[in-house]
Structure 1
Amino acid sequence: MLAPMAGVTDRPFRQMCSRLGAGLVVSEMLSSNPQVWKSAKSQQRMNHDGESGIRSVQIAGADPDLMAEAAQFNVKNGAQIVDINMGCPAKKVNKKLAGSALLQYPKLVEEIIQAVVNAVDVPVTLKIRTGWDPDNKNGVDIAEIAQRNGIQSLAVHGRTRACMYKGQAEYDTIKAIKQAVDIPVVANGDIDSAAKAKAVLDYTGADAVMVGRGAQGNPWIFREIHHYLQTGTFLAAPAMEEVKQVMLEHIQNVHQFYGCHLGPRIARKHVSWYLAEQDSDRSFCRHFNGLEQAEAQIDALQQYFEEIAA
């Protein structure tokens, strides 16, 4: 029941979460289109340096042959698990009939799964949503197709594609899916605390929970969930000194990995997530977002924590 992490593309973020969550399965999403594999963005996503735990690569696409080729490519590149993405609701993914758009076409879903499973010798897993829209929740049918064709584990986000990330995730469909199949089922959606993780596991009967947005600015959530599931007691929140050290290490890694131009821009969203509660009026984040240089950002963070400690 140790929580895996939903597909992410930021290597420094994956690295930090992996370090703070021992045994964590961290996955990043890559296109099945071989024409983009050598792009700078894809190369960054394929970089696993400094990551521990099991290495899973999530692939997205709508062509069974290209998906099989992508699976083989990533296994050769070190993937220990291939995860098929049929859960992403983003328009840029869905307009190519990838991600959760595939849930409308069960026959194509089956063809893709068969092609990928037959292409590699590592476990193949699948990420889906509960259906296309609230009137077409076919998650149980898709789960049965997945099990019948060799999928080893199934992650389910408790919203339809049409729901995007609006409203609250529902877990009734995940519960029904767990009752319908024998393969491990991973519950995903709105899991932002150890207590919520336990409640979702108890209600759905799922074998694990998957954390996505709940880890933004809170990479400690994984050890908190693990501790609570193991002991039934809540782990104390990290001390401010640890928050400082983790933030500085993370932001410095972002600067180093993405470079002097892109690094400071990407750092802004992470700092905003980390300080969502402490910087309630967003005054520091507004100041931080105006800084263009990596050194200036690090200096500002150092000063921020010094003022808090004073």
Structure 2
Amino acid sequence: MTIQIGSLATPSPVFLAPLAGITDLPYRKLVARFGAGLVVSEMVASQEVVQARPEARGKAEICGDLEAASVQIAGNDAYWMAEAAKYCAGQGARVIDINMGCPAKKVTNGYSGSALMRDPNHALTLIEAVVGAVDVPVTLKTRLGWDDEMLNAPEIARRAEGAGVQMITIHGRTRCQFYKGRADWAAIRDVVEAVSVPVIANGDIVDSRTARQALGQSGAQGVMIGRGAQGRPWLLAQVTADLMGSTQPDVPTGDELIDMISEHYEAMLSFYGVPLGLKCARKHLGWYMDDAQTPALLRRAVLTAESPQKALSLFADAFGPHPLEEAA
């Protein structure tokens, strides 16, 4: 069940979705360590990365040992999109993904993300510019349409394939739905039938059961998991094992879990620097504590720790098999 993206053969059909503020390099490396078909960066603003803004370049940073690593770029200007693609490919991105699915108002107000679905002709100029700028495969991530009156994903997918896009990921909602309701996996089938390149189903896929349902209803060749993997970097490997009938990954518990979380925490501090790293790590620590059912007072102590040393000293109780409320 591997997927061919141009010249790249992915090791599994289960991919990590791009999530703003979440799928940074430390987290992508952790997910890849357990196993994933493809890990995708958080969305990068094309003009900002070319103009060397540190935050944008940090989002696009690639680790050389990530064989299946994609960087997602966004924008509405063909020149900046092409230049951003060239920069990211030059930094080691194996795949360049074009964002046409982000529903956030700050993105769509700039006529980027899913707003491009309202102007397919302009969207195609961006796709053509990116494909023409790089030698690595180019993929597209989008939604079913702008709203229920504009379900034009199949048309856009056909034109994108004609322009050289090698894979298309569809989130099973319209832009106007944002993240409300349920993803319509069956509606993705129209895109699958419209193109010959692989199609990946996305939206509300949180475990092996929903992955199977999404594949069955959509006819897609693979799935992309986002929010379901928060606090569970091993989830993609578990879903892969279930779909492919392969060996399940070793999910860390006890001291191994504490060590893994500590390593992830320290990697974030190293990547961002301590002040920003402390803030960025809180969301991940919170998700880990959700899974560990950490008591409220201890949870608060971990999330409000003012130094890395203080936070690390609480991990054994916060993530151990028997969290202690009084340890806070």
Q: TM-score, normalised by structure 1?
A: 0.92
Aligned to 1:293: 307
Aligned to 1:180: 194
Aligned residue for 1:156, secondary structure, equals strand
- Whether the 8 Å contact between 1:54 and 1:80 is mirrored in structure 2 is yes
Is residue 231 of structure 1 aligned with residue 284 of structure 2? Answer: no
Question: Aligned partners of 2:247 and 2:69: how far apart in 1?
Answer: 30
Question: Aligned partners of 1:271 and 1:281: how far apart in 2?
Answer: 13
- Whether the 8 Å contact between 1:67 and 1:115 is mirrored in structure 2 is yes
More displaced 10-residue stretch of structure 1: 250-259 or 94-103: 250-259
Aligned to 2:43: 29
Aligned to 1:101: 115
Question: Aligned partners of 1:139 and 1:181: how far apart in 2?
Answer: 11
Question: Aligned partners of 2:248 and 2:215: how far apart in 1?
Answer: 16
- Whether the 8 Å contact between 2:41 and 2:60 is mirrored in structure 1 is no
Tell me which amino acid in the other structure corresponds to 1:53. Answer: E
More displaced 10-residue stretch of structure 1: 186-195 or 33-42: 33-42
More displaced 10-residue stretch of structure 1: 126-135 or 280-289: 280-289
Aligned to 1:209: 223
Structure 1 position 161, deviation (Å): 1.1
- Whether the 8 Å contact between 1:265 and 1:292 is mirrored in structure 2 is no
What pairs up with 1:138-149 in 2 under 5 angstroms? 138-149=152-163
More displaced 10-residue stretch of structure 1: 261-270 or 271-280: 271-280
Tell me which amino acid in the other structure corresponds to 1:132. Answer: W
Structure 1 position 103, deviation (Å): 0.6
Tell me which amino acid in the other structure corresponds to 1:260. Answer: V
Tell me which amino acid in the other structure corresponds to 2:32. Answer: S
Tell me which amino acid in the other structure corresponds to 2:81. Answer: M
Structure 1 position 264, deviation (Å): 1.2
Tell me which amino acid in the other structure corresponds to 2:287. Answer: W
Question: Aligned partners of 1:288 and 1:243: how far apart in 2?
Answer: 16
Aligned residue for 2:62, secondary structure, equals coil
- Whether the 8 Å contact between 1:85 and 1:126 is mirrored in structure 2 is yes
List runs of 5+ in structure 2 lacking aligned partners: 2-11
Aligned to 1:255: 269
Aligned to 1:67: 81
Is residue 12 of structure 1 aligned with residue 23 of structure 2? Answer: no
Inter-CA distance 273–37: structure 2 relative to 1 (3 Å threshold): farther
Aligned to 1:86: 100
Tell me which amino acid in the other structure corresponds to 1:200. Answer: A
Question: Aligned partners of 1:170 and 1:61: how far apart in 2?
Answer: 27
More displaced 10-residue stretch of structure 1: 50-59 or 96-105: 50-59
Question: Aligned partners of 1:40 and 1:278: how far apart in 2?
Answer: 34
Question: Aligned partners of 1:50 and 1:267: how far apart in 2?
Answer: 23
Question: Aligned partners of 2:117 and 2:298: how far apart in 1?
Answer: 43
Question: Aligned partners of 1:48 and 1:200: how far apart in 2?
Answer: 30
Inter-CA distance 243–168: structure 2 relative to 1 (3 Å threshold): farther
Question: Aligned partners of 2:159 and 2:252: how far apart in 1?
Answer: 43
Inter-CA distance 116–50: structure 2 relative to 1 (3 Å threshold): closer
Kindly report the root-mean-square deviation, in angstroms, between the aligned alpha carbons of the 2 structures.
Answer: 2.2
- Whether the 8 Å contact between 1:18 and 1:53 is mirrored in structure 2 is no
Aligned to 1:194: 208
Aligned to 1:58: 72
Tell me which amino acid in the other structure corresponds to 1:15. Answer: K
Structure 1 position 219, deviation (Å): 0.5
1:7-31 CA distances to partner (integer Å, 9 max, x unpaired)?
2442211111111115533334211
List runs of 5+ in structure 1 lacking aligned partners: none
More displaced 10-residue stretch of structure 1: 37-46 or 76-85: 37-46
Tell me which amino acid in the other structure corresponds to 1:162. Answer: C
- Whether the 8 Å contact between 1:19 and 1:52 is mirrored in structure 2 is no
What pairs up with 1:275-290 in 2 under 5 angstroms? 275-279=289-293, 282-290=296-304
Question: Aligned partners of 2:39 and 2:250: how far apart in 1?
Answer: 23
- Which of 308, 318, 322 pairs up with 1:304? 318
Question: Aligned partners of 1:202 and 1:238: how far apart in 2?
Answer: 31
More displaced 10-residue stretch of structure 1: 178-187 or 69-78: 69-78
Inter-CA distance 232–69: structure 2 relative to 1 (3 Å threshold): closer
Inter-CA distance 14–236: structure 2 relative to 1 (3 Å threshold): closer
Q: How many residue pairs align between the two structures?
A: 310
- Whether the 8 Å contact between 1:133 and 1:162 is mirrored in structure 2 is yes
- Whether the 8 Å contact between 2:101 and 2:143 is mirrored in structure 1 is yes
Structure 1 position 36, deviation (Å): 6.2
Question: Aligned partners of 1:195 and 1:188: how far apart in 2?
Answer: 14
Question: Aligned partners of 1:154 and 1:35: how far apart in 2?
Answer: 23
- Percentage of matched positions with identical amino acids: 40
More displaced 10-residue stretch of structure 1: 142-151 or 231-240: 231-240
Inter-CA distance 52–273: structure 2 relative to 1 (3 Å threshold): same
Aligned to 1:112: 126
Structure 1 position 51, deviation (Å): 4.8
- Which of 149, 153, 177 pairs up with 2:167? 153
